[in-house]
Structure 1
Amino acid sequence: MIRAAEPATHPSSALPKFSEDWALFLDVDGSLLDIAEHPEAVSADRQLVESLGKLRSRLCGALALISGRPLKELDCLFAPLHLPAAGQHGLERRMANGRLLPGLELPEGFAEVEARLALFVDRHAGLFLERKSHGLAVHYRKAPELESEVLALAEALARVSSPPLHLLRGKMVAELRVPGHDKGTAIAAFMRERPFAGRCPVFVGDDVTDEDGFETVNALNGHAILVGARTTAARWSVASAERLRAWLSELAGVNLSENTREEA
């Protein structure tokens, strides 16, 4: 089910053997959850929430979400769990003890960038502007023909603020965000703290926005796992979010057939 992705043309059938000394870091959209046309059209089912809760206990608390979503959205998706998490690609972070670390100040000109993006989105059907506390994401999944226009505008607007915003390209989305952190720096910070410190880091992600995390985990002699298939720094891969969820359920000891019967 999970294969080595280095190189992509010669995958290994081996799977990194699970160990209770892992520190498990999980991307959300495209990894734990299937990507939807709209960010608000996704949900986490009871089985996944149960699996994450049991895995967190099995790992003595060393499980965290590493996502582009804000923390408040992660809490809503995975309620009643209140997991350690890095939101907005590391610009928000909640430690295992529940402490929320202070965010960065918004750069001068951020409001102007937001206004100009909003005007552009309003003029083009199929676009959606996702407003975050430290970032602005234009989704064009429903209007893929506008990709070049979206990217050109994002590149131009990145230079409007001082300091410039960082342009992050994902799957059918362009995000302008405050610079200073990424998924790799978030994982590195968790690995300096209890209960993650001293463990073997494992990061699962699907998008190019997860490559910083893969590189950090590789540098720490951990396991980087890609969901999907593409050129990547990850050394392992799983075919889909559905298969990843099944693997996590297996590791957590959640009985898939019993859960299916209960929900039928």
Structure 2
Amino acid sequence: MQPLPPPPPALLRGATLLLDVDGTLIELAPRPDAVVVAPGLLDLLAAARDRVAGGVALISGRAAADVAALLPVAGIEIIGSHGLEHRAADGAITRPPRPAGLDAARAAFAAFAAAHPGVLVEDKPIGVALHYRQAPDHGPAVQSLAAAWASAEGLRLQTGKAMVELRGAGGDKGAGLRRLMAEPKRAVTRPVFMGDDDTDEPAHAAAVALGGAGVLVGARRASAARFALPDVAAVHGWLRAALAAL
């Protein structure tokens, strides 16, 4: 598999910048609540908001309210819960109803986590996740448990880096990106999306389909992205250079 080139600094001209959070803007951590926001990141996002033609928005698997608390930059829209939540620039959040069967699945996840040290439950408004980054040997059992509950309750199974999530049907990060790009201020710009995980692939594909580009962060793998950066630090460095070139 051929390596992807780094994105040119001019990529942000006439663009809208759309960013995944964990693994792209912020280093992954053993627990979702243990991540650290690097010094200067909030200022970098504020600069992108003010200088990129279509502004900047965040597209995350985290709940939209959690992203807003983690990265409190005014005037930035957020797509949360893998495309199912939208937090407007004024802070108003829209989301579908909590799926039936999710509470029962959450109880099963909690029981499994209690019996398997290192496995963690993450609650979301319309989903529930099990993380096994600290207990990778339990990965197959976690996957089987989630698949069984997805089938039993008609929930969508979402996999990611050392995690599984059950949530309502419909929506993904690509749908979230398309929703953001349909807004009049962005419809005349090109989407540039940056993300690291398999869950980001729908957004990479949507960005390309809309005439923009995806930037894969991390190890090379099959992806719709056209460009790549090796890690979170490289993302920060590239953003600083690209903003300076505007």
Query: Which secondary structure state, in structure 1, belongs to the residue aligned with residue 184 of structure 2?
Result: coil
Residue 11 of structure 1 pairs with residue 25 of structure 2: no
- Counterpart of 2:168 (choices 178, 203, 210) is 178
The one-letter amino acid paired with 1:108 is A
Q: What is the CA–CA distance in structure 2 between the aligned matches of 1:173 and 1:213, rounded to whole Å?
A: 19
Quote the residue 2:199 is aligned against. Answer: 209
Judge which range, 70-79 or 11-20, deviates more.
11-20
Sort the Cα spacing of 1:82 and 1:37 in 2 relative to 1 into closer, same or farther, 3 A.
farther
Sort the Cα spacing of 1:10 and 1:67 in 2 relative to 1 into closer, same or farther, 3 A.
closer
Kept in 2: contact 1:20–1:58 (CA 8 A)? no
Residue 48 of structure 1 pairs with residue 30 of structure 2: no
Residue 167 of structure 1 pairs with residue 160 of structure 2: no
Q: What is the CA–CA distance in structure 2 between the aligned matches of 1:250 and 1:202, rounded to whole Å?
A: 15
Please say which structure displays the higher CA radius of gyration: 1
Q: What is the CA–CA distance in structure 2 between the aligned matches of 1:14 and 1:151, rounded to whole Å?
A: 35
Kept in 1: contact 2:6–2:229 (CA 8 A)? no
Quote the residue 1:224 is aligned against. Answer: 214
By how many angstroms is 1:252 displaced? 3.0
Kept in 2: contact 1:139–1:173 (CA 8 A)? yes
Kept in 2: contact 1:129–1:137 (CA 8 A)? yes
Q: Unmatched 5+ residue regions in structure 1?
A: 1-7, 255-264
Q: What is the CA–CA distance in structure 2 between the aligned matches of 1:192 and 1:11, rounded to whole Å?
A: 28
Quote the residue 2:127 is aligned against. Answer: 135
By how many angstroms is 1:251 displaced? 2.5
By how many angstroms is 1:10 displaced? 4.4
Quote the residue 1:34 is aligned against. Answer: 27
Q: What is the CA–CA distance in structure 1 between the aligned matches of 2:49 and 2:196, rounded to whole Å?
A: 21
- Counterpart of 2:232 (choices 226, 241, 255) is 241
By how many angstroms is 1:108 displaced? 2.1
Sort the Cα spacing of 1:73 and 1:199 in 2 relative to 1 into closer, same or farther, 3 A.
same
% identity of equivalent residues: 36
Quote the residue 1:158 is aligned against. Answer: 150
Q: How does 1:79-118 map to 2 (within 5 A)?
A: 79-96=72-89, 98=90, 100-118=92-110
Query: Which secondary structure state, in structure 2, belongs to the residue aligned with residue 214 of structure 1?
Result: helix
By how many angstroms is 1:80 displaced? 4.2
Q: TM-score, normalised by structure 1?
A: 0.87
Judge which range, 125-134 or 188-197, deviates more.
188-197
Kept in 2: contact 1:32–1:245 (CA 8 A)? yes
Q: What is the CA–CA distance in structure 1 between the aligned matches of 2:74 and 2:36, rounded to whole Å?
A: 14
Kept in 1: contact 2:5–2:228 (CA 8 A)? no
Quote the residue 1:73 is aligned against. Answer: 66
Quote the residue 1:62 is aligned against. Answer: 55
Sort the Cα spacing of 1:13 and 1:203 in 2 relative to 1 into closer, same or farther, 3 A.
closer
Q: TM-score, normalised by structure 2?
A: 0.93
The one-letter amino acid paired with 2:171 is H
Structure holding more helix per residue: 2
Q: Write the deviation string for residues 27-60 of structure 1: whole angstroms up to 9, x where unpaired.
A: 0000011101111111223411111101110025
Kept in 2: contact 1:55–1:251 (CA 8 A)? no
Task: Provide the alpha-carbon RMSD of the alignment.
Answer: 1.8
Quote the residue 1:123 is aligned against. Answer: 115
Kept in 2: contact 1:130–1:136 (CA 8 A)? yes
Kept in 1: contact 2:17–2:54 (CA 8 A)? no
The one-letter amino acid paired with 1:246 is G
